[in-house]
Structure 1
Amino acid sequence: MKFLKKNIVNTILLVLFAVLFFVPDAKAFVLKGFINIGLFSPDIKEEKTVVPDLDGIKFKNAKGEIVDLGELKGKVVFLNFWATWCPPCRAEMPSINKLYTQFKDDADVVFIFVDGDGDLPKANAFMKARNYQMPVFKAESNVPNQIFSGSLPTTVIFDKQGRISLKHEGMADYSSKKIIDFLMKLKAG
């Protein structure tokens, strides 16, 4: 009888680990729990990194509209690289959506969500299925390693002068008061 109970418990644990390993939404659910309890918060430093030239770094949405980072000087830019298959990306999406909802009508703050796979129909379907309203783009030019080196998710926030004010690789809670205050400070400066 003890042998049977031990086998059942082991089987249940094995199934749970398999689900967490193979099902992105399950892994994202667990990671989102870690975000919600405050374990993942981006480190905000007052240090500004100057990118050589933002002109010509372009992103395109499903409508064919192109956004050039060089033309966004004078605005705060929230740039997020993600993918539909990425569990940490999925885990941070609710917090990013909350932040986006708060600032979406603010002309001084621009949000660009870049699908790492460049599959806009799939990325837009992902957003629609989860009731996210964030604008999805794909890279339409080379993106310098200073901005994106390939790690998903990566978030970069530019100040009004086009300097990198925050760069965070990995998931984080972007709906926190700390981030909101940071964006407001960048808007004012």
Structure 2
Amino acid sequence: MLFRSFLLIFLMVVAIAGVRAQGQERKPADSMLTVQAPLFKMKDMNGKVASLSDYKGKVVVLMFWSTWCQPCHLDFPSVNNVIKDYAGDTSVVFLFIDTREKASNYRELVQEDLRSHHYDFNVLFDEMGPDGMQSKYYTAYGMIGIPTKFIIDRNGIIRYQLIGYNSKMKNEEAAITLQQLIRKVKAV
């Protein structure tokens, strides 16, 4: 009898979790958010400090990534295509936040990584967080993993958060999706 009760409770918990997971999967990827973006001050690859307020009046695309993150690297080609499409548009800025690195020489690893893949990304380095890791802004943005992209409007409001890499989507499709979301934010 005890076993049946336990089994029944277990099955109910699994069923409820499944319903919640299905509900999350069905949430439209293009649901616009209205969350104030945490302010940041991070150094770029040349040691210059950049802050979110430097980009007020522009649409900012933040991509959190790491050199060891394979899904991040798989996501780069589509994002790089979007960067090329917006090369002449000074109202959109792309910033790549290097975070959660495990090696102490992560700055050199980033430079080597970008050079070997021929990317000219504007990289900022996350700062050390209270956990002793390079995670201050990773934590401030409430992230659950990388890669994660945020599209922030001209007034510093996060409008979209794109978590992870979708292996079922071709690079061209991923680029088109990102372009569409940027256009929607520009129209706000």
Shorter-normalised TM range: 0.5 to 0.7
Alpha-carbon distance between aligned partners in 2 of 1:146 and 1:136, rounded to the nearest angstrom: 18
Letter of the 1:45 counterpart:
S
Structure 2: how far apart are the matches of 1:114 and 1:96?
A: 14
5+ residue gaps, structure 2, are: 1-27, 129-135
Question: After the TM superposition, which residues 139-158 of structure 1 pair with which residues of structure 2 at under 5 Å, given as runs?
Answer: 139-140=126-127, 142-143=136-137, 145=139, 147-149=141-143, 151-158=145-152
Structure-2 residue corresponding to 1:102? 85
- Where structure 1 has 5 or more consecutive residues not aligned to the other structure, the ranges are 1-41
Which aligned pairs between 1:174-185 and structure 2 lie closer than 5 A? 175-185=174-184
What CA distance in whole angstroms lies between the structure 2 residues aligned with 1:114 and 1:64? Answer: 14
Give 2:74's aligned amino acid. Answer: A
Structure 2 equivalent of residue 137 of structure 1: 124
Instruction: Give percent identity, aligned residues only.
Output: 28
Is the CA contact (8 Å cut-off) linking 1:98 and 1:175 kept in structure 2? no
Return the alpha-carbon distance in structure 1 between the equivalents of residues 158 and 164 of structure 2. 17
Task: Kindly provide the CA deviation profile for residues 120-164 of structure 1, in whole angstroms up to 9, marking residues without a partner as x.
Answer: 221121111111121122024732745243511111110111111
Give the direction of change, closer, same or farther, for the CA distance of 1:153–1:178 in structure 2 (3 Å limit). closer
CA 1:150–1:181: 2 relative to 1, 3 Å: closer
AA aligned opposite 1:162: G
**Separation in structure 1 between the aligned mates of residue 41 and residue 96 of structure 2, nearest angstrom:** 12
Change (3 A) 1:168 1:59: same
Looking at structure 2, the residues matched to 164 and 171 of structure 1 have their Cα atoms a distance apart, in angstroms, of 19
For this pair of structures, how many residues does the alignment match? 145
Q: Which piece of structure 1 moves more, 73-82 or 112-121?
A: 112-121
d(CA) in 2 for partners of 1:76 and 1:126?
26
Q: 1:87-114 CA deviation, whole Å, 9 max, x = no partner?
A: 1111111111111121133211111101
* Equivalent residue letter for 1:133: D
| Residue of structure 2 aligned with 1:75, choices 51, 58, 78 | 58
TM-score, normalised by the number of residues in structure 2: 0.68
- C-alpha contact 1:103 1:109 (8 A) present in aligned 2: yes
- The Cα of 1:177 is off from its aligned counterpart by 2.2
Distance 1:126 1:183 in 2: 26
